[in-house]
Protein backbone atom coordinates (compact mmCIF):
# COMPACT_ATOMS: atom_id res chain seq x y z
CA UNK A 1 0.00 0.00 0.00
CA UNK A 2 1.22 3.46 -0.82
CA UNK A 3 1.33 6.17 1.79
CA UNK A 4 -1.47 8.11 0.15
CA UNK A 5 -3.98 5.32 -0.34
CA UNK A 6 -4.67 1.77 -1.37
CA UNK A 7 -2.12 -0.07 -3.45
CA UNK A 8 -2.92 -3.04 -5.68
CA UNK A 9 -2.72 -6.37 -3.95
CA UNK A 10 0.20 -8.56 -4.94
CA UNK A 11 2.11 -11.51 -3.60
CA UNK A 12 4.57 -9.26 -1.79
CA UNK A 13 1.87 -7.32 0.01
CA UNK A 14 1.36 -8.02 3.69
CA UNK A 15 -2.32 -7.16 3.23
CA UNK A 16 -2.64 -9.66 0.40
CA UNK A 17 -0.97 -12.40 2.41
CA UNK A 18 -3.18 -11.73 5.45
CA UNK A 19 -6.33 -11.55 3.32
CA UNK A 20 -5.42 -14.69 1.40
CA UNK A 21 -4.69 -16.80 4.46
CA UNK A 22 -7.65 -15.51 6.48
CA UNK A 23 -9.97 -16.07 3.50
CA UNK A 24 -8.61 -19.57 2.88
CA UNK A 25 -9.01 -20.36 6.57
CA UNK A 26 -12.60 -19.08 6.50
CA UNK A 27 -13.41 -21.16 3.41
CA UNK A 28 -11.91 -24.28 4.99
CA UNK A 29 -13.91 -23.71 8.18
CA UNK A 30 -17.03 -23.09 6.09
CA UNK A 31 -16.44 -26.35 4.20
CA UNK A 32 -15.94 -28.27 7.44
CA UNK A 33 -19.12 -26.71 8.83
CA UNK A 34 -21.03 -27.75 5.68
CA UNK A 35 -19.77 -31.32 5.95
CA UNK A 36 -20.58 -31.54 9.66
CA UNK A 37 -24.02 -29.99 9.06
CA UNK A 38 -24.80 -32.55 6.36
CA UNK A 39 -23.59 -35.41 8.53
CA UNK A 40 -25.66 -34.19 11.48
CA UNK A 41 -28.72 -33.55 9.30
CA UNK A 42 -28.47 -37.02 7.78
CA UNK A 43 -28.36 -38.61 11.23
CA UNK A 44 -31.39 -36.52 12.33
CA UNK A 45 -33.31 -37.40 9.15
CA UNK A 46 -32.59 -41.11 9.62
CA UNK A 47 -33.89 -41.01 13.18
CA UNK A 48 -36.93 -38.90 12.27
CA UNK A 49 -37.94 -41.05 9.31
CA UNK A 50 -37.44 -44.28 11.21
CA UNK A 51 -39.90 -42.89 13.74
CA UNK A 52 -42.37 -41.95 11.01
CA UNK A 53 -42.11 -45.44 9.53
CA UNK A 54 -42.92 -46.98 12.93
CA UNK A 55 -45.99 -44.74 13.35
CA UNK A 56 -47.32 -45.59 9.89
CA UNK A 57 -46.78 -49.30 10.41
CA UNK A 58 -48.74 -49.18 13.68
CA UNK A 59 -51.58 -47.22 12.07
CA UNK A 60 -51.78 -49.71 9.24
CA UNK A 61 -51.96 -52.68 11.58
CA UNK A 62 -54.55 -50.89 13.73
CA UNK A 63 -56.93 -50.71 10.71
CA UNK A 64 -57.02 -54.48 10.16
CA UNK A 65 -60.05 -56.54 11.34
CA UNK A 66 -61.69 -59.83 10.39
CA UNK A 67 -62.94 -58.69 6.98
CA UNK A 68 -59.83 -57.79 4.97
CA UNK A 69 -61.62 -57.23 1.69
CA UNK A 70 -61.58 -53.48 2.18
CA UNK A 71 -57.78 -53.39 2.21
CA UNK A 72 -57.61 -53.63 -1.57
CA UNK A 73 -58.98 -50.05 -1.80
CA UNK A 74 -56.69 -48.68 0.93
CA UNK A 75 -53.97 -47.19 -1.37
CA UNK A 76 -56.58 -45.45 -3.54
CA UNK A 77 -58.46 -44.13 -0.50
CA UNK A 78 -55.22 -42.75 0.97
CA UNK A 79 -54.35 -40.95 -2.26
CA UNK A 80 -57.86 -39.46 -2.60
CA UNK A 81 -57.91 -37.76 0.79
CA UNK A 82 -58.72 -34.04 0.66
CA UNK A 83 -57.98 -31.09 2.93
CA UNK A 84 -54.26 -30.68 2.20
CA UNK A 85 -52.10 -30.27 -0.86
CA UNK A 86 -49.27 -32.57 -1.61
CA UNK A 87 -45.94 -31.12 -0.53
CA UNK A 88 -42.47 -31.84 -1.75
CA UNK A 89 -41.36 -32.37 1.84
CA UNK A 90 -43.94 -35.11 2.54
CA UNK A 91 -42.48 -38.50 3.41
CA UNK A 92 -42.88 -40.88 0.45
CA UNK A 93 -43.42 -44.08 2.45
CA UNK A 94 -44.31 -47.32 0.69
CA UNK A 95 -46.07 -50.20 2.44
CA UNK A 96 -47.49 -53.67 2.11
CA UNK A 97 -49.79 -55.69 4.43
CA UNK A 98 -50.09 -59.46 4.57
CA UNK A 99 -49.73 -62.65 6.53
CA UNK A 100 -46.61 -63.94 8.27
CA UNK A 101 -46.39 -66.72 5.65
CA UNK A 102 -45.61 -64.05 3.01
CA UNK A 103 -49.08 -63.67 1.47
CA UNK A 104 -49.59 -60.02 0.53
CA UNK A 105 -53.09 -58.60 1.05
CA UNK A 106 -52.36 -55.08 -0.24
CA UNK A 107 -49.36 -52.90 -1.13
CA UNK A 108 -48.60 -49.43 -2.43
CA UNK A 109 -47.50 -48.86 -5.99
CA UNK A 110 -43.77 -48.45 -5.24
CA UNK A 111 -43.49 -50.87 -2.35
CA UNK A 112 -40.32 -53.02 -2.38
CA UNK A 113 -40.92 -56.64 -3.40
CA UNK A 114 -39.38 -58.06 -0.25
CA UNK A 115 -41.04 -60.98 1.51
CA UNK A 116 -42.98 -60.40 4.70
CA UNK A 117 -41.31 -63.47 6.09
CA UNK A 118 -38.18 -61.45 6.91
CA UNK A 119 -37.36 -60.88 10.59
CA UNK A 120 -39.28 -58.19 12.42
CA UNK A 121 -37.70 -54.75 12.89
CA UNK A 122 -35.61 -52.42 10.80
CA UNK A 123 -33.49 -53.64 7.90
CA UNK A 124 -31.72 -52.28 4.82
CA UNK A 125 -32.95 -53.91 1.61
CA UNK A 126 -32.37 -53.61 -2.13
CA UNK A 127 -35.16 -52.55 -4.48
CA UNK A 128 -34.73 -51.79 -8.17
CA UNK A 129 -31.00 -51.54 -7.64
CA UNK A 130 -31.28 -48.91 -4.91
CA UNK A 131 -30.97 -49.20 -1.11
CA UNK A 132 -34.14 -48.82 0.97
CA UNK A 133 -34.90 -48.70 4.67
CA UNK A 134 -37.48 -51.28 5.73
CA UNK A 135 -39.51 -51.89 8.93
CA UNK A 136 -41.70 -54.95 9.56
CA UNK A 137 -44.19 -55.02 12.48
CA UNK A 138 -46.62 -57.74 13.49
CA UNK A 139 -49.95 -57.69 15.35
CA UNK A 140 -50.04 -58.99 18.90
CA UNK A 141 -51.84 -62.20 17.84
CA UNK A 142 -49.31 -62.81 15.07
CA UNK A 143 -51.93 -63.00 12.31
CA UNK A 144 -50.94 -59.94 10.26
CA UNK A 145 -47.80 -58.12 9.29
CA UNK A 146 -47.15 -54.63 7.88
CA UNK A 147 -43.99 -53.53 6.09
CA UNK A 148 -43.13 -49.82 5.61
CA UNK A 149 -40.17 -48.82 3.43
CA UNK A 150 -38.46 -45.59 2.45
CA UNK A 151 -35.76 -44.88 -0.16
CA UNK A 152 -32.28 -43.88 1.12
CA UNK A 153 -31.99 -41.58 -1.91
CA UNK A 154 -34.95 -39.58 -0.65
CA UNK A 155 -33.49 -39.50 2.83
CA UNK A 156 -30.16 -38.15 1.53
CA UNK A 157 -31.97 -35.47 -0.46
CA UNK A 158 -33.81 -34.36 2.65
CA UNK A 159 -30.56 -34.28 4.66
CA UNK A 160 -28.81 -32.28 1.93
CA UNK A 161 -31.69 -29.81 1.79
CA UNK A 162 -31.62 -29.27 5.54
CA UNK A 163 -27.84 -28.82 5.54
CA UNK A 164 -28.02 -26.44 2.57
CA UNK A 165 -30.55 -24.26 4.33
CA UNK A 166 -28.10 -23.99 7.24
CA UNK A 167 -24.83 -23.46 5.35
CA UNK A 168 -25.89 -21.74 2.12
CA UNK A 169 -26.63 -18.36 3.78
CA UNK A 170 -23.11 -18.36 5.19
CA UNK A 171 -21.75 -19.08 1.71
CA UNK A 172 -23.73 -16.20 0.25
CA UNK A 173 -22.31 -13.93 2.95
CA UNK A 174 -18.73 -15.06 2.22
CA UNK A 175 -17.93 -12.21 -0.26
CA UNK A 176 -19.21 -9.70 2.29
CA UNK A 177 -17.05 -11.38 4.93
CA UNK A 178 -13.97 -11.14 2.67
CA UNK A 179 -14.65 -7.44 2.07
CA UNK A 180 -15.02 -6.83 5.80
CA UNK A 181 -11.80 -8.75 6.41
CA UNK A 182 -9.97 -6.60 3.87
CA UNK A 183 -11.11 -3.32 5.38
CA UNK A 184 -10.39 -4.66 8.87
CA UNK A 185 -6.85 -5.51 7.80
CA UNK A 186 -6.55 -2.06 6.24
CA UNK A 187 -7.60 -0.50 9.51
CA UNK A 188 -5.32 -2.65 11.64
CA UNK A 189 -2.28 -1.91 9.44
CA UNK A 190 -2.90 1.84 9.38
CA UNK A 191 -0.22 2.49 12.06
CA UNK A 192 2.34 1.06 9.62
CA UNK A 193 1.07 3.42 6.92
CA UNK A 194 1.32 6.35 9.32
CA UNK A 195 4.85 5.30 10.24
CA UNK A 196 5.83 5.02 6.56
CA UNK A 197 4.29 8.44 5.87
CA UNK A 198 6.23 9.96 8.76
CA UNK A 199 9.50 8.55 7.44
CA UNK A 200 8.74 9.47 3.79
CA UNK A 201 7.79 13.04 4.59
CA UNK A 202 11.02 13.81 6.43
CA UNK A 203 13.74 15.95 4.95
CA UNK A 204 17.19 14.33 4.56
CA UNK A 205 18.61 16.30 7.49
CA UNK A 206 15.73 15.43 9.87
CA UNK A 207 17.05 12.52 11.93
CA UNK A 208 15.01 13.07 15.07
CA UNK A 209 13.43 9.98 16.61
CA UNK A 210 9.99 8.83 15.49
CA UNK A 211 7.06 9.66 17.75
CA UNK A 212 4.07 7.76 16.28
CA UNK A 213 0.62 8.78 17.52
CA UNK A 214 -0.36 5.14 18.10
CA UNK A 215 2.35 2.66 19.00
CA UNK A 216 0.93 -0.84 18.91
CA UNK A 217 2.70 -3.63 20.74
CA UNK A 218 3.64 -5.26 17.42
CA UNK A 219 5.11 -2.04 15.95
CA UNK A 220 7.13 -1.07 19.01
CA UNK A 221 10.21 -3.21 18.06
CA UNK A 222 10.18 -1.64 14.57
CA UNK A 223 9.91 1.88 15.97
CA UNK A 224 12.69 1.19 18.48
CA UNK A 225 14.95 -0.20 15.75
CA UNK A 226 14.26 2.76 13.46
CA UNK A 227 14.90 5.22 16.29
CA UNK A 228 18.12 3.42 17.15
CA UNK A 229 19.17 3.61 13.49
CA UNK A 230 18.24 7.30 13.26
CA UNK A 231 20.22 8.04 16.43
CA UNK A 232 23.26 6.24 15.06
CA UNK A 233 22.94 8.04 11.73
CA UNK A 234 22.60 11.39 13.48
CA UNK A 235 25.67 10.66 15.60
CA UNK A 236 27.66 9.49 12.58
CA UNK A 237 26.72 12.50 10.47
CA UNK A 238 27.48 14.85 13.36
CA UNK A 239 30.87 13.20 13.82
CA UNK A 240 31.57 13.48 10.11
CA UNK A 241 30.60 17.15 10.03
CA UNK A 242 32.79 17.86 13.05
CA UNK A 243 35.59 15.75 11.62
CA UNK A 244 35.40 17.57 8.27
CA UNK A 245 35.41 20.97 9.96
CA UNK A 246 38.34 20.00 12.20
CA UNK A 247 40.25 18.52 9.27
CA UNK A 248 39.73 21.67 7.22
CA UNK A 249 40.93 23.78 10.13
CA UNK A 250 43.96 21.56 10.75
CA UNK A 251 44.93 21.59 7.07
CA UNK A 252 44.48 25.34 6.71
CA UNK A 253 47.30 26.16 9.15
CA UNK A 254 50.10 24.05 7.57
CA UNK A 255 49.04 25.04 4.05
CA UNK A 256 49.17 28.72 5.01
CA UNK A 257 52.63 28.17 6.53
CA UNK A 258 53.77 26.39 3.34
CA UNK A 259 52.57 29.31 1.26
CA UNK A 260 54.41 31.82 3.44
CA UNK A 261 57.66 29.85 3.34
CA UNK A 262 57.37 29.41 -0.42
CA UNK A 263 56.83 33.17 -0.83
CA UNK A 264 59.87 33.85 1.38
CA UNK A 265 61.97 31.48 -0.75
CA UNK A 266 60.85 33.23 -3.91
CA UNK A 267 61.36 36.74 -2.55
CA UNK A 268 64.73 36.42 -0.88
CA UNK A 269 68.03 36.67 -2.73
CA UNK A 270 70.04 35.39 0.20
CA UNK A 271 70.96 31.72 -0.45
CA UNK A 272 70.96 30.88 3.24
CA UNK A 273 67.50 32.35 3.80
CA UNK A 274 66.23 30.62 0.66
CA UNK A 275 67.63 27.26 1.78
CA UNK A 276 66.11 27.73 5.23
CA UNK A 277 62.72 28.60 3.72
CA UNK A 278 62.85 25.57 1.42
CA UNK A 279 63.76 23.35 4.37
CA UNK A 280 60.72 24.72 6.19
CA UNK A 281 58.59 24.00 3.12
CA UNK A 282 59.82 20.40 3.03
CA UNK A 283 59.18 19.98 6.77
CA UNK A 284 55.70 21.46 6.31
CA UNK A 285 55.02 19.07 3.43
CA UNK A 286 56.09 16.16 5.64
CA UNK A 287 53.76 17.29 8.43
CA UNK A 288 50.87 17.82 6.02
CA UNK A 289 51.50 14.45 4.39
CA UNK A 290 51.42 12.77 7.79
CA UNK A 291 48.19 14.58 8.68
CA UNK A 292 46.54 13.54 5.40
CA UNK A 293 47.69 9.93 5.85
CA UNK A 294 46.19 9.84 9.34
CA UNK A 295 42.95 11.38 8.09
CA UNK A 296 42.73 8.75 5.37
CA UNK A 297 43.47 5.98 7.85
CA UNK A 298 40.71 7.18 10.17
CA UNK A 299 38.32 7.47 7.25
CA UNK A 300 39.02 3.82 6.37
CA UNK A 301 38.74 2.62 9.97
CA UNK A 302 35.47 4.36 10.88
CA UNK A 303 33.10 2.28 8.70
CA UNK A 304 34.63 -1.06 9.74
CA UNK A 305 32.41 -3.03 12.11
CA UNK A 306 34.41 -6.26 12.22
CA UNK A 307 37.76 -7.29 10.81
CA UNK A 308 37.38 -9.59 7.83
CA UNK A 309 40.98 -10.37 6.84
CA UNK A 310 42.47 -11.75 10.06
CA UNK A 311 45.40 -14.08 10.65
CA UNK A 312 47.66 -15.23 13.51
CA UNK A 313 50.13 -12.48 14.46
CA UNK A 314 53.55 -13.04 15.97
CA UNK A 315 53.73 -10.11 18.38
CA UNK A 316 57.52 -10.35 18.79
CA UNK A 317 58.04 -10.07 15.04
CA UNK A 318 55.51 -7.25 14.88
CA UNK A 319 57.27 -5.38 17.69
CA UNK A 320 60.66 -5.70 15.99
CA UNK A 321 59.20 -4.29 12.77
CA UNK A 322 57.70 -1.31 14.63
CA UNK A 323 60.99 -0.62 16.41
CA UNK A 324 62.83 -0.77 13.08
CA UNK A 325 60.45 1.89 11.71
CA UNK A 326 61.11 4.15 14.73
CA UNK A 327 64.90 3.68 14.53
CA UNK A 328 65.64 6.73 12.38
CA UNK A 329 63.56 9.21 14.44
CA UNK A 330 65.01 7.86 17.70
CA UNK A 331 68.58 8.10 16.37
CA UNK A 332 68.05 11.76 15.52
CA UNK A 333 67.14 12.43 19.16
CA UNK A 334 69.84 10.03 20.49
CA UNK A 335 67.22 7.90 22.19
CA UNK A 336 67.44 4.22 23.11
CA UNK A 337 64.76 1.74 22.03
CA UNK A 338 64.25 -1.15 24.43
CA UNK A 339 62.17 -4.30 23.88
CA UNK A 340 60.99 -6.52 26.73
CA UNK A 341 59.09 -9.63 25.56
CA UNK A 342 58.44 -13.26 26.61
CA UNK A 343 60.82 -15.95 25.43
CA UNK A 344 57.83 -17.59 23.73
CA UNK A 345 55.83 -14.56 22.62
CA UNK A 346 52.08 -15.22 22.31
CA UNK A 347 50.17 -15.03 19.05
CA UNK A 348 46.89 -13.25 18.59
CA UNK A 349 44.43 -13.18 15.70
CA UNK A 350 43.99 -9.88 13.92
CA UNK A 351 45.15 -7.62 11.11
CA UNK A 352 48.96 -7.29 11.26
CA UNK A 353 49.00 -4.11 9.16
CA UNK A 354 46.54 -2.30 11.44
CA UNK A 355 48.16 -3.53 14.65
CA UNK A 356 51.59 -2.57 13.27
CA UNK A 357 50.26 0.92 12.51
CA UNK A 358 49.01 1.22 16.09
CA UNK A 359 52.41 0.24 17.49
CA UNK A 360 54.20 2.68 15.19
CA UNK A 361 51.88 5.49 16.33
CA UNK A 362 52.61 4.74 20.00
CA UNK A 363 56.38 4.58 19.38
CA UNK A 364 56.24 7.79 17.31
CA UNK A 365 54.49 9.60 20.17
CA UNK A 366 57.00 8.26 22.71
CA UNK A 367 59.99 9.32 20.56
CA UNK A 368 58.41 12.70 19.75
CA UNK A 369 57.52 13.68 23.32
CA UNK A 370 60.34 11.93 25.17
CA UNK A 371 63.49 13.95 25.99
CA UNK A 372 66.71 13.49 24.07
CA UNK A 373 69.06 10.73 25.25
CA UNK A 374 66.15 8.99 27.01
CA UNK A 375 64.82 5.44 26.71
CA UNK A 376 61.63 4.29 25.00
CA UNK A 377 60.52 0.83 26.12
CA UNK A 378 58.20 -1.54 24.28
CA UNK A 379 56.88 -4.31 26.55
CA UNK A 380 54.97 -7.51 25.72
CA UNK A 381 53.73 -9.39 28.76
CA UNK A 382 50.92 -11.60 29.94
CA UNK A 383 49.24 -9.86 32.84
CA UNK A 384 46.78 -11.84 35.02
CA UNK A 385 45.71 -14.00 32.12
CA UNK A 386 45.48 -11.07 29.70
CA UNK A 387 47.99 -9.83 27.14
CA UNK A 388 49.65 -6.47 27.81
CA UNK A 389 51.46 -4.55 25.11
CA UNK A 390 52.74 -1.13 26.20
CA UNK A 391 55.02 1.67 25.15
CA UNK A 392 56.57 3.88 27.84
CA UNK A 393 58.83 6.90 27.70
CA UNK A 394 60.74 9.11 30.15
CA UNK A 395 59.12 12.38 29.12
CA UNK A 396 57.23 14.88 31.29
CA UNK A 397 53.92 13.05 30.96
CA UNK A 398 50.53 14.68 30.47
CA UNK A 399 48.43 16.80 32.85
CA UNK A 400 45.89 14.61 34.61
CA UNK A 401 43.00 16.73 33.35
CA UNK A 402 44.08 15.99 29.74
CA UNK A 403 44.34 12.21 30.04
CA UNK A 404 40.65 11.55 29.34
CA UNK A 405 40.78 13.73 26.20
CA UNK A 406 43.90 12.34 24.56
CA UNK A 407 41.92 9.98 22.29
CA UNK A 408 39.67 12.79 21.07
CA UNK A 409 40.39 13.67 17.48
CA UNK A 410 42.65 16.72 16.94
CA UNK A 411 43.18 17.09 20.70
CA UNK A 412 46.67 18.11 21.78
CA UNK A 413 47.80 18.45 25.35
CA UNK A 414 48.28 21.98 26.59
CA UNK A 415 51.85 21.10 27.62
CA UNK A 416 52.85 19.28 24.44
CA UNK A 417 56.39 20.23 23.59
CA UNK A 418 56.17 19.64 19.83
CA UNK A 419 53.71 19.71 17.01
CA UNK A 420 51.38 16.86 16.18
CA UNK A 421 48.10 16.19 14.38
CA UNK A 422 46.16 15.03 17.44
CA UNK A 423 44.97 11.94 15.52
CA UNK A 424 47.53 9.27 16.48
CA UNK A 425 45.88 8.06 19.69
CA UNK A 426 42.42 8.22 18.05
CA UNK A 427 43.72 5.81 15.40
CA UNK A 428 45.27 3.54 18.04
CA UNK A 429 42.03 3.44 20.02
CA UNK A 430 39.98 2.52 16.92
CA UNK A 431 42.43 -0.25 15.98
CA UNK A 432 42.33 -1.54 19.57
CA UNK A 433 38.51 -1.67 19.47
CA UNK A 434 38.58 -3.69 16.24
CA UNK A 435 40.97 -6.18 17.89
CA UNK A 436 38.97 -6.49 21.10
CA UNK A 437 41.60 -4.64 23.10
CA UNK A 438 41.45 -1.65 25.42
CA UNK A 439 43.73 1.40 25.20
CA UNK A 440 44.95 2.63 28.59
CA UNK A 441 46.83 5.91 29.01
CA UNK A 442 48.51 7.00 32.22
CA UNK A 443 51.46 8.87 33.68
CA UNK A 444 54.27 6.84 35.23
CA UNK A 445 55.20 7.34 38.82
CA UNK A 446 58.46 9.26 38.89
CA UNK A 447 57.94 10.68 35.40
CA UNK A 448 57.15 9.44 31.97
CA UNK A 449 54.06 8.34 30.07
CA UNK A 450 52.62 4.87 29.32
CA UNK A 451 50.29 3.87 26.48
CA UNK A 452 49.03 0.32 26.97
CA UNK A 453 47.01 -2.10 24.83
CA UNK A 454 45.40 -4.80 26.96
CA UNK A 455 43.15 -7.71 25.94
CA UNK A 456 42.45 -11.24 27.20
CA UNK A 457 44.01 -14.22 25.44
CA UNK A 458 43.80 -18.01 25.69
CA UNK A 459 46.86 -19.99 26.72
CA UNK A 460 49.98 -19.09 28.66
CA UNK A 461 53.24 -17.41 27.71
CA UNK A 462 56.69 -18.43 28.75
CA UNK A 463 59.09 -16.63 31.07
CA UNK A 464 60.20 -13.08 30.31
CA UNK A 465 63.43 -12.29 28.57
CA UNK A 466 64.94 -8.83 28.04
CA UNK A 467 66.16 -7.89 24.56
CA UNK A 468 68.52 -4.94 24.62
CA UNK A 469 69.63 -4.96 21.00
CA UNK A 470 67.61 -1.86 20.23
CA UNK A 471 69.59 0.61 22.29
CA UNK A 472 70.71 3.55 20.16
Query: Does one domain contain both 18 and 166?
Result: yes
Task: State the number of CA atoms in the 13 A half-sphere of 377 facing the CB.
Answer: 17
Closest CA to 315 of 366, 377, 378: 378
Give the CA distances from residue 451 to residues 107, 353, 391, 420, 470, in Å, rounded to whole numbers and listed in that order.
118, 19, 5, 17, 19
Query: For position 214, what pLDDT does the model report?
Result: 63
**How many structural domains does the chain have?**
3
CATH number of 56's domain: 3.30.450
| 18, 167: one domain | yes
Judged by DSSP in three states, 403 sits in: helix
Q: What local confidence, expressed as pLDDT, does residue 461 receive?
A: 36
pLDDT value for 377: 92
* Structural domain containing residue 330: 311-467
Residue 210 gets which letter from DSSP? P
Cα 440 to Cα 437: distance, rounded to the nearest angstrom: 10
- Establish if 2 belongs to a structural domain: no
What pLDDT is recorded for position 467? 39
d(CA 449, CA 432): 19
pLDDT in tens, the chain (472 residues): 444 444 445 546 777 888 888 888 888 888 888 788 778 877 887 888 888 888 888 888 887 877 677 777 677 666 666 655 555 545 568 888 888 888 888 888 788 888 888 889 999 888 878 888 889 999 888 888 998 988 888 888 877 777 777 777 777 777 888 888 888 888 887 777 777 787 788 777 787 887 766 667 777 787 888 888 888 888 778 777 776 776 676 667 677 777 888 888 888 888 888 888 888 888 778 777 877 777 777 777 777 777 877 889 888 889 999 899 888 889 988 999 999 987 777 778 888 888 888 898 899 889 988 899 999 999 988 777 678 899 999 888 888 888 888 888 777 766 555 555 677 788 888 888 888 889 999 998 878 899 999 877 554 333 333 333 333 3
Per-residue confidence (pLDDT) for residue 215, from 0 to 100: 66
pLDDT at 91: 56
Q: Where are the beta strands (DSSP E) in 265-409?
A: 311-314, 336-342, 347-350, 375-383, 386-392
Residues 255 and 352 grouped into a single domain: no
* Beta pairing partners, 337: 376
The reported pLDDT for the residue numbered 27 is 84
**Which residues are bridge partners to 455 per DSSP?**
387
Strands (E), 92-212: 94-98, 104-107, 121-127, 130-138, 145-151
Under a CB-based contact definition with an 8 Å cutoff, are residues 161 and 88 in contact? no
Same domain, yes or no, for 153 and 268?
no
CATH number at 361 reads 3.30.565.10
User: What pLDDT score was predicted for residue 77?
Assistant: 66
The count of other CB atoms within 10 Å of the CB of residue 444 is: 13
Contact status, residue 166 vs residue 37, Cβ threshold 8 Å: yes
pTM: 0.50
Rounded Cα gap, residues 420 and 335, in angstroms: 19
DSSP 375-416: EEEEEEEEETTEEEEEEE--S----HHHHTTTTSTT---TT-
pLDDT at 425: 85
Both 50 and 24 in one domain: the answer is: yes
174, 208, 231 - which closes a domain: 174
Q: What is the DSSP letter of 72?
A: G
Q: Is residue 74 part of a domain?
A: no
Residues 141 and 48 in one domain: yes
In 3-state terms, what secondary structure has residue 126?
strand
Amino acid sequence: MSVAGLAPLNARSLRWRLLRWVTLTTIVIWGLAAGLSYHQARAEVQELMDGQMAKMARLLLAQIHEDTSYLKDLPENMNSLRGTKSRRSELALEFQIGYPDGTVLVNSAMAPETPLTRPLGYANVEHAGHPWRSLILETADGRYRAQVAHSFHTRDKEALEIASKTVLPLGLLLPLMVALLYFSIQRCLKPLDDLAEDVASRSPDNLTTLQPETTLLETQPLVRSLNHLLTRLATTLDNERRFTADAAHELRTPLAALKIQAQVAMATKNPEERDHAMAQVLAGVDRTTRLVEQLLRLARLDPIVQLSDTQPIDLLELARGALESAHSAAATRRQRLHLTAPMDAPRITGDPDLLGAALRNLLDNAVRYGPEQSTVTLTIDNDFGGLRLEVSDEGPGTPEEDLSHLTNRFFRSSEAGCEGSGLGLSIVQRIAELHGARLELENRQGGGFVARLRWPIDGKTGGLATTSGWKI
